[in-house]
Amino acid sequence: MAASPGVSKPGSSRLGSTKLYRTARRAVILAGLALALAQLASAQSAARQKPKGPRALGLVQLAPNGKAHLIPITILYDGEFYDASAYKASPVPMALESGTVYEGVRTGVSEGLFTVTSALQGNNTWIGDGTWQSNSAIAAAKDAAAKRKAVMSKPAPEPVEGPPVLRRASAKPKPTEDAPSGGSAASGPASPAPPASAPAASTASPSASDEDSDRPVLKRPAAATAPVASAPSPAVTEAEAEADPDRPVLKRGAPTAEELKKRSASVATSATAGKDSHKPTALAPTVLGPIQLIPAISDAAGPEPRPYAYSLKPEEEQKLRNKMLALAANEVRAWAAQPESAGSQPAPRPGSKAKPPQPTFEDVQLHAFDLSNSNEPILVLTAKARLPVRSNTASDLQYIITLVARDDMYGDLHKAFASVTDSGHFDVLSRLELIDAVDADGDGRGELLFRQVSDAGSAFVLYRVIGDRLWPLFQGTPGQ
């Protein structure tokens, strides 16, 4: 029997609802995948748009007289560190182009601005010459400019108008009459009178002075009388001779024996004075202060600097210093125990237990940094040490140590790096001198900048502290 039109089969509506549910589920899944892919693509594009440089790092050498120079260190470009003294050096390195501005930051705190004016090359090294302006000088210049602008913009005060004031005109001098009083005006011009003599010019007629008292009168100064030459008295001559014994004196006859003695004595005195005058004068010692080393950053789109110094109380600093010196003593003893430097160790007594020698430290410097806002200080200790020397040992050696450790929240020290050398191995092993903590890559975290010094020269080294290790980011070429 055929089905009548308009009547659906039983089960057809159930099949349609199942297909519709599957289609909706697929649409929801596809929409979710599209949203996830869009978020991932936006995150990747944001990561690609993050500025990666160029970011230049240098070291400002500030002299006590205000003269400043810049040593280029690194340039960060596209995530890679390059030697700033050689990067695009055509003809001068890009880091030392004229007009480049560096911001001096000491332990993350801004100190001033250095502007490069020229580049100097010597001994295969580049140095930037320029001007240094401290933050205080910049603020003072801004205040002075603001005051000048305020004075110029202020309208001038209007003059106060009062009642009119009558002023008497100054009396004009009467014109002098050139015509003679005799009435001979029709005759020709009178011939000029000859110049009067000095006495006649000095005497003026009283009538002329009475007519106009303000009339200027030319007067010739009175001639100075010639001094009458008189023979000098013997007393004056003797006084002048005593005042100047080398003054020549004319006398008649042969000189006496006493006069000859005086002449020889004066000649000897003048000769001695002449010899002393040719000797170089001793210059007063000039007291010059130490040259300041300030790291400097040049980055047009970098983050604002933040301080990296970790403040310690005096008792906390003393406690950490003792812990760091204990670690440093172990490092020095371990270095001295090596065969290369074993000659400086004290020889143990036979039949007795050798006691570990205790080194004596000097020039100890401890720095504490918070490089990653973790509130766990990174400690850097630099010191010089000596071990006790006995009669049967070799020459005394001076050890130089640089120690980096991390202090955790429980007060335990974790050694991250140690560098030890001695005065007998500077030709092959360099020593590390801490410069400061700097943000070399612009991520807000601080890195440790060292100067590596040896007999071959010096170079800059940049380290990043990750956990309990120091990772090198840049190693300069010796000779800087």
Supply the pLDDT for residue 116: 97
**Which amino acid is located at 81 in the chain?**
F
| Cα first-last separation, the chain | 105
Place of tokens 């130490």: 290
Give pTM, 2 decimals.
Answer: 0.62
Q: What is the pLDDT along the chain (480 residues), one digit of tens a residue?
A: 444 444 445 555 555 555 555 676 777 787 777 777 766 655 554 444 454 669 999 999 999 999 999 999 999 999 999 999 999 988 999 999 999 999 999 999 999 999 999 999 887 789 999 999 999 999 998 888 888 888 877 776 666 666 776 677 766 555 555 444 444 444 444 444 444 444 444 444 444 444 555 555 555 555 544 444 444 454 444 545 455 555 555 555 555 666 656 665 554 555 444 444 434 334 334 445 789 999 999 998 889 999 999 999 999 999 999 999 999 999 999 998 886 654 444 555 555 556 778 899 999 999 999 999 989 999 999 999 999 876 545 567 899 999 999 999 999 999 999 999 998 887 778 899 999 999 999 999 999 999 999 888 899 999 999 989 999 999 998 865
Supply the pLDDT for residue 401: 96
Size of the chain in residues: 480
Which three-class secondary structure state does DSSP give residue 241?
helix
Place of tokens 């289609």: 23
Which three-class secondary structure state does DSSP give residue 17?
helix
Return the H-helix or E-strand segment holding 120: strand 109-122
Indicate left, alpha or beta for 8 from its phi (over 0: left) and psi (-120 to 50: alpha): beta
Supply the pLDDT for residue 168: 74
CB 336 within 8 A of CB 387: yes
Q: 194: number of CA atoms within 13 Å, CB side?
A: 3
CB 303 within 8 A of CB 442: yes
Supply the pLDDT for residue 477: 83
Q: Are strands 80-83 and 68-77 parallel, antiparallel or unpaired?
A: antiparallel
CB 465 within 8 A of CB 450: no
Would you tell me how many other CB atoms lie within 10 Å of the CB of residue 367?
19
Which three-class secondary structure state does DSSP give residue 465?
strand
